[in-house]
Amino acid sequence: MEKINIQEKFSLFDETWTPKIIAESNGQLVKIAKGEGKLVWHSHENEDELFIVFKGKLTLLLRDGAVTLHPGELFVVKKGLEHCPVAEEETHFMMIEPASTAHTGAVVSEQTVSVDNQTHI
Amino acid sequence: MEKINIQEKFSLFDETWTPKIIAESNGQLVKIAKGEGKLVWHSHENEDELFIVFKGKLTLLLRDGAVTLHPGELFVVKKGLEHCPVAEEETHFMMIEPASTAHTGAVVSEQTVSVDNQTHI
């Protein structure tokens, strides 16, 4: 494989809450996404979801509070934990999760991008 | 869990080629390390190893060439691929790999830090 420049990959798309796959490792996909506004409440029953923020500010609302991630901060949403991502400004972040992970868990909304429709860039 | 500030974690240690565990997700460990000089040639027979560089310059020598990673660049060393990490200057990088991954594969050198001796910070 080739090395991947993460910023360069962010420059390739504008959609928000639309994960793009940039690498695979041990059956897990490395995805990047832009966020602005609010996604939906959901959980992943069988998968942990690792977040790293590169630009902006990503708040993960949790049922018992919230975590706000700035650039260079990392958080793991453990399997089963309900969360709702919110970004007040344009935010760039990475997710690392098993290939099986559904975008918005068992919840299907207009924002949901099925695993089959998540493109490699 | 708490959110993790990656730079703050780098400030907690000075050793080189000594992975520190900062998070776990889906049975994989998120580790950070500093590099300066050269590690040893090795491979991981059963595990892919994901690298992201945060500071400096990490060269992964491969038997058929080399990949040099700058800050913000990512590379996955696929299982079985022989590699030797080299850093000409102080370099900070992250690795994400299964908990089972031996530091220098089947090779044991003075630099090897066994999985049991890799500390959580």
Report all structural domains of chain B as residue ranges with CATH numbers, in order of start: 6-120 (2.60.120.10)
Chain segment A38-89, per-residue pLDDT in tens: 999 999 999 999 999 999 999 999 999 999 999 999 999 999 999 999 999 9
Q: Do the chains contact at A75 and B3, CB–CB below 8 Å?
A: yes
Written as one string, the DSSP assignment of B23-89 is EEETTEEEEEEEEEEE---B--SS--EEEEEEES-EEEEETTEEEEE-TTEEEEE-TT--EEEEEEE
B110: left (phi over 0), alpha (psi -120 to 50) or beta: alpha
Residue B23 in contact with partner chain A when CB distance is under 8 A: yes
Could you give the CA distance from residue A52 to residue A18 in angstroms, rounded to a whole number? 16
Give the residue on A whose Cα is nearest the Cα of B59. Answer: A3
- Residue B1: pLDDT band by 50, 70, 90 thresholds? confident
* Predicted pLDDT of residue B68: 98
Question: Are β-strands A28-38 and A83-98 bridged in parallel, bridged antiparallel, or unpaired?
Answer: antiparallel
Q: Do the chains contact at B26 and A98, CB–CB below 8 Å?
A: yes
Could you give the CA distance from residue B60 to residue A46 in angstroms, rounded to a whole number? 34
Lookup result for tokens 């966020």: A35
Q: Considering the entire predicted model, what is its pTM?
A: 0.95
Residue B24 has pLDDT above 80, yes or no: yes
Q: Do the chains contact at B6 and A97, CB–CB below 8 Å?
A: no
| Mean pLDDT along residues A16-25 | 97
Written as one string, the DSSP assignment of A61-76 is EETTEEEEE-TTEEEE
Residue A1 has pLDDT above 90, yes or no: no
CA–CA min distance A97, chain B (Å): 8
Chain segment B53-89, per-residue pLDDT in tens: 999 999 999 999 999 999 999 999 999 999 999 999 9
CA A61 to chain CA centroid, nearest Å: 14
Helices (H), chain A: 6-10
- Residue A15: pLDDT band by 50, 70, 90 thresholds? very high
* Predicted pLDDT of residue A41: 97
Helix (H) or strand (E) holding A77: strand A73-77
Model ipTM value:
0.94
